[in-house]
A and B are shown apart, each in its own frame.
Chain A
């Protein structure tokens, strides 16, 4: 359906355009809710809808006061710092363990490969509420519930499947004769790993890390149960805000988070193109 052939009947022409309109509406449905909160976050009033001033594009209708609130309110600031303290450490743990295991899993002869894979992927399959319930029960038993360390471990576990999937996918295209060549020239396994293998699988590792980071950074269900007030993260604070006293500051935070997602998306896209180029495929 790349273009309308000249011999198309009227019915076909109508359908052709109708179909495009339908698709346009669905795309609109996908993107509009995210776009609409951006102007609303600059609302000068404490409303969640467009004021007449905003619709007239009157500068008085807009303000940065919700952003100001975010950057001065101690609750939001504490939440932001908690998020920034938890996510990178969790990411580091999942990437460190995950990359090693992915390399192990990509070896030609791995006993119980399917079973191991199923266990490692399970945090992604099990519904979050069940993971949260189990972790809450178990971590309270061993005294990790309500601690920073507990939340980091829980988030690392949730991020691992993403690292495993992205890194094993990169390793599928990895030419093992390169490591053999390195060994042949006298490099020890550690040098081979860091000088030969790592640079080549780096895009996969980085995108796995991004997935793990965003998993921890966005995660709310598990932290709600495993964490205590001292580990209140940004999504948790938003969740409280949405459930109890909804304040427009949430929209300012949401806009900032959308900006972060755009950056992440762009990074991933660049990485994808790079790895495709490396493999000799044409960039899309």
Chain B
């Protein structure tokens, strides 16, 4: 395209260079396409991708320990569990404060449940301590302070006292407990100036005053209290906790809290593969607690079995559909498409009806005298039931891709092979079969992907031995409430499926997915 009479770039009708004009048109076209896609993309991102991302996040998220026991976690961070059996003494007031607020907000049971996944018995420990923490003997401090000065009982006087920066600086623990207390009252909609002062605050006040010499310049009330404190009757917080439950003297409990203090943990993933994060490092769980390895293996084994059964049953059907005259094939196709379109629950209930001990198949077998009425076959609530029902449910997903591949294989190839002297078997095995392998591949991956994540059918006909990993995920979401573990198991399953999907995309191409 060289024009000898024109110098410089080619121009469009409006005088701009043609290249730029074309680029602009292309950009506008791209923009228009994106504008059409944008609403749906945003919709899917919010309703679907965000939930999946949330699940991935939950599989490592571990805010609950650091959020519920912030001060304890801080003290534990400096604790070397190999040097001393128990955490430093500073743990007790910190833990008292944390437990007091956790109990007020009713969060201690949730934390107990969370830590119970890692160390059995922690759940009841926290529940017991939660009950005890409000009845600690720390009211001794309250009484002694109010005996000194009645005004200590007045919450309004605390509000004004805590507004003074010098006081806050002199009484750091009291100030921090007070801040958490007012923040808590704020969420409840209560006024700090009207709520009774808790024993916790008097305890912190005592500890502050006992820890350091009184600073001049504070209010007279504090000076007076500071002078009196050395003669106060004291309460041993450690003894109070051990009184509530002696497990608090067990270093193992503190080590578990320390191990699970970080906001992100690989703990759930390790649980999902039968391992455990202990203070000493990662180790396998004891033999009798390993269930997920078995479950993953069973899920894979059953999905493979189902896929193989689908190949075995689907191949002849796809062949006959591809080789019969169009009209007959279309009629027979209905027999494949009707199950495909029938509700999953209808097919599952049909199998439940057929397979039960008083069901149709057993009745027929008894009637044919193949089976004695006394010992009817148990075909349900085991692996057999799941495999049969799921093979039936997933068979159309094998037949349809196989059929579409076989339709493209010219029948002349087989005839040519036979005319060259091949037997029927050789002609099929050496000529036809290799050409149908892409169909087998596509169908197998599709069936396997679908099978590995199945939930409903195994739940209904699988009993205890025929269930999949997905049933365990559902159990952890709705029954055991161990959401983190459910999310970790889900993430592993998702990774497997995405890997297979990537393979499927390489072999078949996602654009070639056909429906119906």
Contact = CB atoms under 8 A, between A and B. Distances in A.
B159 interface: no
B29 A108 contact: yes
B501 interface: yes
Contacts of B453: 126-130
A234 to B, nearest CB: 8
Contacts of B49: 119, 122
Nearest to A12: B424
Q: What size tier do the contact residues of chain A reach?
A: 35 or more
Interface in A21-54: 22-23, 26-27, 29-31, 33-34, 36-37, 40, 47-50
B510 A101 contact: no
Interface string B429-462: 0000000000000000000011011111001100
Nearest to A153: B47
A264 B392 CA distance: 20
Contacts of B424: 12, 15
A26 B399 CA distance: 11
A123 B346 contact: no
A107 B37 CA distance: 11
B377 to A, nearest CB: 14
Given A2-B323, A109-B26, A134-B490, A127 B338 contact: no
A73 to B, nearest CB: 17
A1 to B, nearest CB: 5
A14 to B, nearest CB: 12
A103 B36 CA distance: 7
Interface in A64-122: 93, 97-98, 100-101, 103-105, 107-111, 116-122
A240 to B, nearest CB: 11
A26 B51 CA distance: 40
B155 to A, nearest CB: 35
Contacts of B483: 137
A50 to B, nearest CB: 7
Contacts of A101: 36-37, 39-41
Nearest to A33: B350
Interface string A124-154: 0111111111111111010000000000011
A131 B48 contact: yes
B345 A238 contact: yes
Which of B37, B477, B486 has the largest number of chain A CB atoms within 10 A? B37
A47 B511 CA distance: 47
B18 interface: no
A207 B454 CA distance: 25
Nearest to B455: A129
Contact of B350 (A20, A36, A50, A160): A36
B349 interface: yes
A284 to B, nearest CB: 6
B346 to A, nearest CB: 4
Nearest to B336: A30
A133 B55 contact: yes
Interface string A236-266: 0011001100100011001001100110110
Contacts of A135: 47-48, 51
A117 B344 CA distance: 27
A37 B324 contact: no
Given A107-B32, A119-B49, A265 B339 contact: no
A90 to B, nearest CB: 11
B460 A239 contact: yes
B48 A157 contact: yes
Contacts of B515: 162, 165-166, 207, 211
Which of A121, A129, A132, A157 has the largest number of chain B CB atoms within 10 A? A129
Contact of A127 (B344, B353, B478, B497): B497
Which of A22, A29, A130 has the largest number of chain B CB atoms within 10 A? A130
B307 interface: no
Contact of A128 (B39, B330, B345, B455): B455
Contacts of B338: 31, 34, 258, 261-262, 265
A22 B316 contact: yes
Interface of A: 1-2, 12, 15, 19-20, 22-23, 26-27, 29-31, 33-34, 36-37, 40, 47-50, 93, 97-98, 100-101, 103-105, 107-111, 116-123, 125-139, 141, 153-154, 156-157, 160, 162, 165-166, 168-169, 207, 211, 214, 217-218, 220-221, 225, 235, 238-239, 242-243, 246, 250-251, 254, 257-258, 261-262, 264-265, 268, 272, 284
Report the 6 A-B pairs with minimum CB-CB distance, sorted nearest first: A127-B453, A104-B36, A134-B51, A101-B40, A138-B51, A134-B55
